[in-house]
Chains A and B, each alone.
Chain A
């Protein structure tokens, strides 16, 4: 694998291999085992947009494996002086072995991959894709259910601008998931994505009603209504806070059902859910480290030992 821009860059077999590798690296991510597989390698963390978990888990993944990290944020850089993305990334091509890029404009990761030689990992491009999040999401789902095959997954909230659900839905249907898309009308999944999902024969249902989906779900994936993606603030205020899960909503849920969220949450998941057996979002955030460890090794062609001790 070279670049990872969308989930189409990975076959199902490659996804399963990455998840297997991630699982083997769990003791390294926890700090129990020292395994400097990426010693001497440099990751450029190119964040043109805010991030907490993605940036830090990339950094943790690289450092746990003995590599080093150049952290870039656009504030205080030459981007503020009007430097193009192309010029900024030419510099990184010479400074690092691999680049993770987050950018508010859609298509920025593919553009960067076309512009430079080192592997480019898309860490979120506008409302486009977020495939490294999808890897950790899939890892979390497989960890809970033991499989990725044939699950009933409910995606909730901002499906229009939510890049996590764009990438995740593409991957899930390839593993035979049944998808229920829950959103207000103004935040429905973009038509071209629904068209892609159903073209492969996947069963996809769109609804505005969250309550009616809970009892049959294996996974409920909540997302934040993202104020920063709305061109118009009035449109945002019409839908802010529209979906909120509380512990009492989960009375009829399957025992093994898990609730996920890419975080940060605002009020989509009430803190009363945190102590239920369904809550998996903080574990999900930790899984970002192992998923990105496996990915970094793969794109730098570094083999992970079969047994990590």
Chain B
């Protein structure tokens, strides 16, 4: 199987490679690609990877990810490599980069945080305390957020 493509090449769109094994579905949710889209999306999970041992890959046709989407991606798959494909060729290579603060990406999960009042107008802010291992806290209440909570609370 190693010599064969598991999924055919795409003409135009985005390939997200080196997603940690098992996280592809979370990535789709994080990028809001799991519902209401008509683009064809191919997903490969748990394939061998020299870099990660096992990895997931996503191929999203006819859609180029924006910088804001890359910021979201960095939360779940900070080592992911992103290729923008145009006419079957790699037109751009991008890296998902985790910034210091994530603004309006996800809502704080803590039930008593001031931001739980949806009418409060200031942006949702999560602060990156540490990248490896990933540690994220709400910029307002300081509570730690785990990855499942962040995915459940994306905006």
Contacts and interface: CB of A to CB of B under 8 A. Distances in A.
Chain A bound to chain B: yes
A32 interface: no
A105 B114 contact: yes
B144 A106 contact: no
Given A84-B117, A127-B112, A192-B144, A107 B122 contact: no
Contacts of A175: none
A6 B140 CA distance: 11
Contact of A107 (B113, B119, B121, B144): B113
Contacts of A108: 114, 140
A277 B34 CA distance: 66
Interface residues of B, number: 21
B112 A84 contact: no
A86 interface: yes
Interface of B is mostly: loop
A224 B17 CA distance: 53
Interface string A78-99: 0000101110000000000000
Contacts of B137: 192
A66 interface: no
A106 B117 contact: no
A110 B137 CA distance: 13
Nearest to B141: A107
A106 B120 contact: no
A111 to B, nearest CB: 5
A129 to B, nearest CB: 8
A30 B112 CA distance: 39
Interface in B97-155: 108, 110-117, 119-122, 137-144
Nearest to A87: B121
A107 B137 CA distance: 11
Contacts of B119: 82, 84
B48 to A, nearest CB: 35
Of A6, A103, A111, most buried by chain B (CB within 10 Å of CB) is A111
Nearest to B144: A192
A85 B143 contact: no
A125 B113 CA distance: 9
Contact of B114 (A6, A103, A129, A192): A103
A161 B120 CA distance: 24
Interface residues of A, number: 23
Best-surrounded residue of B117, B119, B139, B140 (most CB of chain A within 10 A): B140
Nearest to B129: A192
A107 B142 contact: yes
Interface string A181-197: 00000000001100000
A111 B140 CA distance: 6
A86 B138 contact: no
A176 interface: no
A56 interface: no
B138 A107 contact: yes
A114 interface: yes
B140 to A, nearest CB: 3
B112 A106 contact: yes
A263 interface: no
A107 B115 contact: yes
A106 B141 contact: yes
A86 B112 contact: no
A115 interface: yes
B142 A86 contact: no
A114 B122 contact: yes
Contacts of A262: none
Interface in B68-119: 108, 110-117, 119
A128 B142 contact: yes
Given A126-B141, A128-B142, A192-B137, A106 B110 contact: yes
B153 to A, nearest CB: 15
Contacts of B122: 86, 111, 114-115
20 contacts: A6-B142, A84-B120, A85-B114, A86-B122, A105-B114, A106-B112, A106-B113, A106-B114, A106-B140, A106-B141, A107-B114, A107-B142, A108-B140, A110-B139, A111-B120, A114-B122, A127-B112, A128-B141, A192-B137, A192-B142
Q: Please name the 8 residue pairs, one residue from A and one from B, whose CB atoms are nearest each other, closest first.
A: A107-B140, A107-B141, A106-B141, A107-B114, A105-B114, A108-B114, A192-B144, A111-B114
